[in-house]
Amino acid sequence: MPTLDPTDARLLQALDEDPRASVMALSQRLGLARNTVQARLARLEGGEVLAPFTARLRPEALGYRLEAYMTVQVVQRSLSDVGSALGAVPEVLEVTALSGAADLLVRVAAVDADDLWRISEQVLALPGVERTDTALALRRLVDHRVAPLLERAAGGPDGSGSDGTPAG
């Protein structure tokens, strides 16, 4: 993954504010040459800095009104196999390996409680899964965000370095 400089951060801030902005509009807004913006965007897209568009899509819009987090304990040495198997379950939105008592944190989307039961049973039946624990997500209080980090990286108000964190 490429390292972002303040110009990259400013470019990403502009895209965050207007995801449909053209290369020309971005170059005018940032005071950069069109070719510079185009080259930087290509590098950021190719370097996995930008997540797929579907990361912005809310499961509720597709009828999955219930979201839950499952912690999963896995048989030793089965972590990658279980991770791959979870990736094949359509309702699994995200899987994160953890340190501590649980091995995986799995974010799932379900239509309703019965659907969540079905998904839980499917996860528990995967070879290598020892135990699961499920918690319903009641309300998202802070949406996924990186804008404050971009502001810091771009040298904005939080990027002054007063907290010891470099601006880029």
Give me the CATH number covering residue 113: 3.30.70.920
- The reported pLDDT for the residue numbered 160 is 54
- The reported pLDDT for the residue numbered 45 is 84
Does 82 lie in the same domain as 43? Answer: no
Contacts of 133 (CB under 8 A, 6+ apart): 70, 71, 102
The answer to whether position 151 is within a domain reads no
Yes or no: say if 152 and 158 are a contact pair by the CB < 8 Å rule.
yes
Given a cut of 90, is residue 157 above it in pLDDT? Answer: no
2 pLDDT band, cuts 50/70/90, is low
Please give the Cα distance from 39 to 122 (Å, whole number): 44
- Domain enclosing residue 101, as ranges: 59-136
Does 84 lie in the same domain as 68? Answer: yes
The arithmetic mean of pLDDT across residues 48-66, rounded, is 86
54 pLDDT band, cuts 50/70/90, is confident
Does 77 lie in the same domain as 27? Answer: no
The answer to whether position 48 is within a domain reads yes
Does 48 lie in the same domain as 69? Answer: no
Closest to 117 in 3D by CA, of 81, 61, 68, 63:
68
Does 63 lie in the same domain as 46? Answer: no
Given a cut of 90, is residue 144 above it in pLDDT? Answer: no
Give 162 or 79, the one with higher predicted confidence. 79
Does 46 lie in the same domain as 22? Answer: yes
Does 129 lie in the same domain as 71? Answer: yes
